[in-house]
Amino acid sequence: MTIDCEKPKCYDLSTTSVSCFSFLFRKPTKDWFGKCCAGHDCFLLDACIPAILHLSQREEELVLRECDEDRLFDFVCKFWDYVSEAVCYDCINIFESLMRLHLAKCPSNGPLSSWARNIGKFLANSPSSCRGRYRCILVYNKIMVSFSEDLTDKLLCEELYSLLSNPTLVAVVSELIAFDIIRNYGKSDRLLLHSNLLRASLHSPMKAIRTAVRDRLLPEFSKNSLLLDWVVENLKTFQSGDVNSTVSLEVPLYIAKFCLFHQKGNGNVLEWTSFIDESVVISALLNATAQIRVMAWNLICDHPKLAAPISNRQLELCKCFLATNMAEQSPAIRLSILSGLKKILIRIRENGRNILRNGTDEFTLEPYVNFICSLRDLCFENLVEYANFSRRIMALQMLEYLFLENYLVSDDNDLFFKFSTSKLRPTETQILRILRCLDDSYELCQISALRLLSSSFFEIHNFDFASYLVEMKKQMFSIRSLFTLTSGYRLRFYLKKNPDNLKEVFYYLLNMCKDRVKLISEDLLMIATNHGFVYSLLSAVCVVLELLDLRSVLTNSDSYAASINQDLLPMCFEISELVAPVVNSMSPEGFVPNDHIKVFADVKNFEKSKENTDFHQALLASCWRSHKYVSAIFYIIIKKWLGSPVLSSEAALLICNYYWRQLTECKHCGAIETAIEGFEALCAKLWSFALADCPEFKDLPCPDAWVKQILDLIDDEKNVLCATRRSAGLPHLIIAVLVKEPITNDAQCLKRTMIAVLETERKSYETQVHGLNIIRAVFLNSRLSELVLCYVEPAINFCFASFGSNSWAVRSAASQLFVALITRMFGIPRSTQLSLHPHEKNRMSSFEFFTRFPSLYDSLHRQFHENEKSVSHLRMFAVLILLTHLFPSPRHREIYSLSTYVLPLFKFLLSCRAMRLRELSAAALTSICEIQDADFLLKWVSRVGLTAYTQNEICSIIFMLMEFTDTFNECELRNSIQSLVGRVESDKQFQRWCDYNRFLFLKLLLKMRYRFTVSSIEEFILSDAVLVFRPLAKWICNEISCNIKNLLMRSKPLRFEFWRALSKSTIAKLDDTKLIQLAVCDFRNSGSFVQRHILTLFLNSTAPNLSQLFDIFSVKHFLHELSEMSRQSNRHLINLLLIKLDQKDWRFKWLYNSAIDEDQKVQYIAVRALELLLKKGHPDVQLCKVIVLLLKNENEVIREKVAELCSHVVNRKIASLNPEILFWWFVKRYPNIEEIVIQYSKFGSNERTHLFDACVSNPYIEATSICSEYLSNVLQLIS
């Protein structure tokens, strides 16, 4: 892109003449958007337009003509919402320079020019809601004083506050609001308006608005000192009011924290107690909602001064909060609690240091020391038997904060820590509790416990390590999977404390493995028994290898190196060969041999068949776990010793062959996944050796050669590679090589691979499947990122060609690849796609998409042509999905116009034979249509008339009309649709349609809010179309009248659909007396499906005298009979209805079973029953048993709901208490109810020797109330 004498295109821009810019207003050429020199990435944006503006600003006599200003402003408007944010920012900068330049040529004391005034009106009235437009409004308002009159409009201010919920606009909207307040600071009515809008936003029911005010708007206010004073004074006035709801508690807590961190004039000495009442904070700290509790916790922990002292009262609140939240289930909440604890510890450290340096009485430090010691004791009190995982990991992490992290001690500040160390050091009994955590069933707890035990604070004096080693060996020789994990962490602890014994343990494990391998080699089935399994020993070998360092191995080269090369590696290879026939041929889900399938039918031999099945499962699990730890051993050896004298070249070559076999022959996905980590480490080492050109590693293969070998095997007609399970390990092998390819190689290996696999299109079916699976893996791998985008177009074309294949396997692989390509092109979906239209963030304009992938524009057209020759429509599914992700570009209608697809797509829509394909075609057509295209199609259909179309074509047209109705809001288009639909309705054309088309037509009428008459409803009811009852019933729910009730009386099918629609409605309720009596009658004479909806209606009814509207005794008798023979879901609703009709009529057994049911829907029914029963007064002992179970439910929402229902039992002053507090209170008040928790949880030691460990249905429940001794402190706070 050079001009005369090889000068860059931007060379002439340094001249003082504007004549060189005349080309801007001619038809653009492609070189404008490319590089012109090393300093400009884009000639037009980076060189040309800035040069124009800066030149005009520098030279007073050079000004832009109004027509040039219009063109520049038009350029800004065209690109201010461009997909690239850099372009948007450039547009804002161009607009700012343009306005300043225009203002410079206007008289200083004269009125604003008409051009500038028109620009302001355009910005204010523009329909665009993009961020660029609001940025331009802000710029214009700052430069042009007269625009402030428009901005002070009340409606515009209200609009700005409503836009705070938009995450894209929240930043610029916050700046606009702040600027408006500053400009109108002297106007009391204006400030009052903002104050009211700010209060309303803080108390808004929309969480997005509340969050935006807290995270964006108020921080924007704090940037200006004048504005900060105003907002702090106003926020203080917002503190009063009711604090019983969640929102009403959130607001004062945040306001207090904001005021705390924005103190002025008092040196940041005030505490949170100066900004909020303590009772509100206590209520929040003990609230049932975790989010409220964390907000209050952060408030009492935070302070702008790190060395600010902490009062005894505040320390007491902290201790109560931590005690009641040790079992917090959410990892995010636990992290927030620990973050607050970190701030408290730092404040204690800094304040303690100041006290000690100043020589103050050391007794003043006693509250701090006692608090830290009480935290230590609290942690160990939670590390008891039956404590759930949440409680254990929280206690261990808090201990790490106390002893390991630099929060109580720092590099230059350890005065306080030294002062408190003697009291803080844990006792041996407490250390033993940490030691027991090495046997935890969760590895996170084991890792944390091992870190603590490695600290000098947790030294155990006179510990019997010999007995500990014996016990560890006993676990190691148990086939239980849990003991494999626990023995590994026990061994880590033992070897860390006894490093001199590492060599002895290593040889012991090697000898034991050799003995078992000899046993297995004679009979492979022994690997699934207690005497032959080897994976636990291999796991222990991994631990030893992790602790071995290169220096110790080299200094003992005669022992370690020889053992690794001559004993360990050959043994691992032998184990791999032994288990390979099992692992390589089976899936991890297990396999039952055909010889035993017939046995299952023989009930007499059921126990024997079950025993055989268990053994087969144990055989597979033992084999693949052995394989897993062999791969882990190789990974450690590669990572630590490949390239050193420890590992010989022959051994390294054998390891390479091992990974090659695992990733080319094995079908076990677990085995493949365990091999990948080591193989990637191997590839990284081999690539580095190849680049270094080291002669000692010349015998080792180069990863590039592996890829070539694989590609040759794929092309080979005698294909021996596995094509099942997405080509098994083959894609992983290639990906491992490609992601570790050095940058200096310029992705040459990737290029050769992609070219080779894309050329498999015309080869055998197996070759095509492998090629498609490899391409899919390449596009799914995030580490290859932008490197693969250049292969999107050929990959899409490969998919289109494969969709027409005669092989199902090829079509399936192509479908999987297409999904990966959609994700790569349009991004990962922000949320679950519940309709045929993707999220707006996952769509592109036609210009952007086809600019990136230009060859696809013609390729999509070819698919419509190819589809006419094909019997299968599979390729069209891909085309339609791709089109739904596009939308017409508003600025480049002539380039890559989507209108060219409209007629082919409309033709295909009318010819579709599959219902789902019609729906997708209509959605795609709506995505690519502009208003004029939709209007053209509507006129075409209206001119031809629906009578000329077949039933399938009518169905397609109705789908199209429904999509148009949802998408286009323009009056003219809606009038066209209403005219077409009105003609069909007035001429009764729908009466000759099939049932489903009439159903769709009625749905369309409802979408258009068509005003039905009773006569038109009767016409639909009297027809033979059964499907129309459902949309009719939905309409009747909102239009109930006397005439409508008569229609319901006459039509039983319509009534059944009406009950269904009414039960799903969020607005309408069953409160009418006649309808209730009608529902009771239908309930007796209907099936379980309708009965469920009627039951739901009765339960949701707000009629005050529901039990008096029918014969309560006969209905209850009927319900009791029905509950014994009805389907299970209805039985729960029937029992709930019985409680609603008569609160004395409830059965403990049903409510107990519902509370412990694994189905959360049933658990919610139990909560509703509890809510009804609590209305009659104080709960009895039986009901308290159910309450206790629900307070320990695994679902946090259920726990919080039950806590809100039962809090009044403990204290009527606080409407919502932490479920943990209530659990303590109920167990202490009714000691006998703790037995039901133990009975349900079925806790106890499991001493059976089996392969698999049982799972718990509710991992959150605990057999006892842990730390309930803190209940008295909590009750004292709320008294």
Q: Residue 492: which pLDDT band, with cuts at 50, 70 and 90?
A: very high
At 379 the pLDDT is 96
| φ and ψ of 8, to 5 deg | -70, 160
Residue pair 922/909 in contact by the 8 Å Cβ criterion: yes
DSSP H or E stretch at residue 389: helix 389-403
Q: What is the pLDDT of residues 880-899, one digit of tens each?
A: 999 999 998 766 667 788 99
Q: Residue 411: which pLDDT band, with cuts at 50, 70 and 90?
A: low
Q: What is the pLDDT of residues 795-817, one digit of tens each?
A: 999 999 999 888 888 999 999 99
Residue pair 455/406 in contact by the 8 Å Cβ criterion: no
Percent of the chain residues topping a pLDDT of 70: 86
- Mean pLDDT for the stretch of residues 633-640: 92
Question: According to the 3-state scheme, what is the secondary structure of 409-438?
Answer: CECCECHHHHHHHHHHCCCHHHHHHHHHHH
Q: Which of 16-25, 395-404, 1200-1209 has the lowest mean pLDDT?
A: 16-25
- Mean pLDDT for the stretch of residues 702-730: 79
Residue 814 corresponds to which tokens in the numbers above? 């192509």
- Mean pLDDT for the stretch of residues 650-679: 87
Nearest residue to 586 (alpha-carbon basis) of 554, 616, 547, 629: 616
What sign has the CA pseudo-torsion 457, 463, 466, 468?
A: negative
At 3 the pLDDT is 36
Q: Residue 772: which pLDDT band, with cuts at 50, 70 and 90?
A: very high
pLDDT at 49 > cutoff 80: no
3 state SS of 840: helix
- Domains parsed from the chain with CATH numbers: 307-425 (no CATH), 498-582+605-701 (no CATH), 702-826 (1.25.40.90), 1184-1278 (no CATH)
The model carries a pTM of 0.85
Residue 688 corresponds to which tokens in the numbers above? 């580095």
Residue pair 1004/958 in contact by the 8 Å Cβ criterion: yes
Residue 1239 corresponds to which tokens in the numbers above? 């009975």
Angstrom CA distances, 877 to 768, 832, 921, stand at: 20, 19, 9
- Mean pLDDT for the stretch of residues 1268-1276: 92
Q: Residue 1044, exposed/middle/buried by CB under 10 A (0-12, 13-18, 19+)? A: middle
The CA distance from 205 to 207, in Å, is: 6
Q: What is the pLDDT of residues 74-86, one digit of tens each?
A: 888 877 877 667 7
Q: Residue 923: which pLDDT band, with cuts at 50, 70 and 90?
A: very high
Q: What is the pLDDT of residues 345-358, one digit of tens each?
A: 999 988 888 888 88
| φ and ψ of 2, to 5 deg | -125, 165
Nearest residue to 919 (alpha-carbon basis) of 960, 951, 882, 864: 960
At 544 the pLDDT is 93
What letter does residue 845 receive in the DSSP assignment? E
Greatest mean pLDDT among 165-169, 934-938, 1243-1247 lies in 934-938
At 1217 the pLDDT is 93
Residue entry with tokens 């695992």:
662
Amino acid 903 reads: L
Q: What number of other Cβ atoms are within 10 A of residue 596's Cβ?
A: 13
Amino acid 95 reads: F
| φ and ψ of 622, to 5 deg | -65, -40
Residue 652 corresponds to which tokens in the numbers above? 């390294």
The CA distance from 196 to 361, in Å, is: 51
At 723 the pLDDT is 60
At 16 the pLDDT is 45
Residue 35 corresponds to which tokens in the numbers above? 């590089």
The string of DSSP codes covering 42-109 is SIIIIIIHHHHHHHHHH-TT----HHHHHHHHHHHHHHTT-SSHHHHHHHHHHHHHHHHHHHHHS-SS
The CA distance from 839 to 826, in Å, is: 10
The CA distance from 139 to 103, in Å, is: 13
3 state SS of 11: helix
Average pLDDT, the chain: 84
Q: Residue 571, exposed/middle/buried by CB under 10 A (0-12, 13-18, 19+)? A: buried
The CA distance from 965 to 976, in Å, is: 11
Percent of the chain residues topping a pLDDT of 90: 34
Q: Residue 1246: which pLDDT band, with cuts at 50, 70 and 90?
A: very low
At 17 the pLDDT is 45
Using only C-alpha atoms, what is the Rg of the chain? 37
At 778 the pLDDT is 94
Nearest residue to 209 (alpha-carbon basis) of 255, 169, 262: 169
Q: What is the pLDDT of residues 129-142, one digit of tens each?
A: 888 888 998 888 88
Q: What number of other Cβ atoms are within 10 A of residue 186's Cβ?
A: 7
Residue 956 corresponds to which tokens in the numbers above? 């397609």
